[in-house]
Structures are given as structure tokens and as C-alpha cells.
Amino acid sequence: MDVAVTGSSGLIGTALKSALSNAGHRPIAVVRSPASGQDQIFWKPSEGQIDAASFNGLDAVIHLAGAGIGDRKWTESRKKLLVESRTTSTSLLAGTLAGLDHPPSTLISGSAIGFYGDGSHAVNETSPHGTGFLADLVVAWEEAARPAVEADGIRVAFARTGIVQSKQGGALGKQLPIFKLGAGGRLGSGNQWVSWISMTDQVGALQWILDNDNVSGPVNLTAPNPVTNLEYTKALGAAVNRPTFIPIPMFGPKILFGSEMVEEMLVSGQKVMPQVLLDGGYRFAHRTIEEALAFEISRTREVA
């Protein structure tokens, strides 16, 4: 298949491109600089620019673009960017695909488990959205894809991604140096749920959605065994053979990143079940956090 990938230089996009190539597909990077060759397509969502013709006749698009949620403090301007970087790009892409004579038959649009808000009870793809900035962001993000959802001939799936485990970046990449120093510990009470997924399964699940024409709508990309923050902390400490006795007080992160961001990303949590993947027969490479951490920490490069 010819598969266009937005956000192709990001953490997930880089691993996905490699996996697609290994599976015999042709990944095509959607880039913000002028395209250089047939394996790139130009777009600039902030200015409404996109090379629409280059999407005509492709088999699929996997849309992963968006500013990093946890990269900076949530000022009002940053929150606006987080929303607009997702809704503007998704709206432009979905509208473009819907207007093509021969659109890609599949659009997998990035999303997040922040949709469900904070909670201690198990949720799945049929559960309603929660409250808070992240929940509202995800609702708007998915709604922006409506032109493609309503178009004939385009199957749209929303990849509601959990906390991806990769030592190359993301949450694990930030925590790993701290834990290796023996300074890691639970966050707050440690009772909040962590719905995680290994990078191997993140990429594998995206490919599974790509290959299964009957799958559409929301798909939770999380492992089937979520853990509490305390359980995650113990597992990561064991993986690097370091103690995790000292809890991390929340006042430090709140000073650095602001109370709203810390409350929604660190103190809150979701117990998310990947019901669509389970019901569809997806075979997880890593079903427990111990397996995932052992593999991801030991791997030498980010491939599926």
C-alpha cells in the first residue's frame, strides 16, 4: 500500500514509517517543507496549504501531527496551539480527502485516551467523554475529521492512544534518567491509573487497523492490563534495578508546568480497555508493563 503519514518525524511516526517499509508498504511523509521526491507530500496546515493532488489514488493516510501535549506549561496561548495544531490540520486533511475523485480508502486519525477524562472505573470505546481540557481537546480533534467520516468511500478510525512506552521519548524517555539515578518514585498517591502501550504494540495496532477494513470509529491503543502509578513506578524501578521508595511531591511539577497540566496529566488517570483490539483478535506483543519495559529499555533502535 501507498500510505501517507503526517507527523512522520515524530516519535511514533518514525517507528511507524520503518514498520510500514518492513511490511512491504510505501510510506509517504507529509512534510511542511517543499517535497523532495515522490516519497513526500507538501502541506502547511497553519496557512491552509496542501498538495491535494498527491493524495489522489493513495491507499491510506495515517494522521499523527500535533504539538506535544506535555512538552511545555499550559499557558492560554499554548493551550490554543495544542487545540489548533490538531483541529486545523485534521480539518484541512479530512476536507481535502473528501473532495478527491479517488480518495484513500482509509484515514487513521490520531486521538488520545484523554477523551475519557479522569476516572478509576474501566472504560472502553463505547464510554462517553469526560471533562477537562484534554477531554474537550480530543472531542474537537475527532470532530474535525467529520468531512472524511461523512464522505463516501473513506473509512475513518480514531487511534485513541495511551501512554506510549519508548526510551526514545515521551513519558518513559523523560522518566528513565531519573529512575536510573535512583530518584524515581510514585506521583502523589500513586493510585491513579496508567493506561500504557509499548511502542511495538502502538505501531502494530496502527498496522492492524490499516489491514482490517471493517474497523472504524474509535480504537483504544492501550495494553489490556493498565496499572496504577505505584505499580508502574515499581516496575520501572525493577527494570533499571533501582529503588523507588521516595514519593515525588506535586509542588515541584506544579511550579514548572502549572497546576492544570499536572492535575490532568499526572494526578488524573484513566483505566482504559482496548476492547476493539481485543474483540478483533489483535495479538499484543506486550501484555504486561514488566514485559514492555524490559523490551523497550533493552532495544537499541526504534523499530517494530
Report the CATH number that the domain containing residue 233 is assigned in CATH: 3.40.50.720
38 within domain boundaries: yes
The DSSP symbol for 187 reads: B
pTM exceeding the 0.85 threshold for the entire prediction: yes
**Parallel, antiparallel or unpaired: strands 193-194 and 227-228:** antiparallel
160 within domain boundaries: yes
Give the pLDDT of residue 250.
Answer: 82
Range of the domain at 67: 2-298
303 within domain boundaries: no
**How far apart are the C-alpha atoms of 30 and 109, rounded to whole Å?**
14
Compute the 3-state secondary structure of the chain and give helix, strand, coil in percent, each to the nearest 5.
40, 20, 40
256 within domain boundaries: yes
87 within domain boundaries: yes
50 within domain boundaries: yes
304 within domain boundaries: no
Count structural domains, the chain. Answer: 1
Question: Cell triple for residue 190?
Answer: 500513586
**How far apart are the C-alpha atoms of 160 and 144, rounded to whole Å?**
15
280 within domain boundaries: yes
Give the pLDDT of residue 300.
Answer: 62
Give the pLDDT of residue 303.
Answer: 45
- What is the CB-side half-sphere exposure of residue 184 using CA atoms within 13 A? 27
Tens digit of pLDDT per residue, the chain (304 long)? 999 999 999 999 999 999 999 999 999 999 999 998 889 999 999 999 999 999 999 999 999 999 999 888 999 999 999 999 999 999 999 999 999 999 999 999 999 999 999 999 999 999 999 999 999 999 999 999 999 999 999 999 999 999 999 999 999 999 999 999 999 999 989 999 999 999 999 999 999 999 999 999 999 999 999 999 999 999 999 999 999 988 988 877 888 788 998 899 888 999 999 999 999 999 999 999 999 999 999 976 544 4
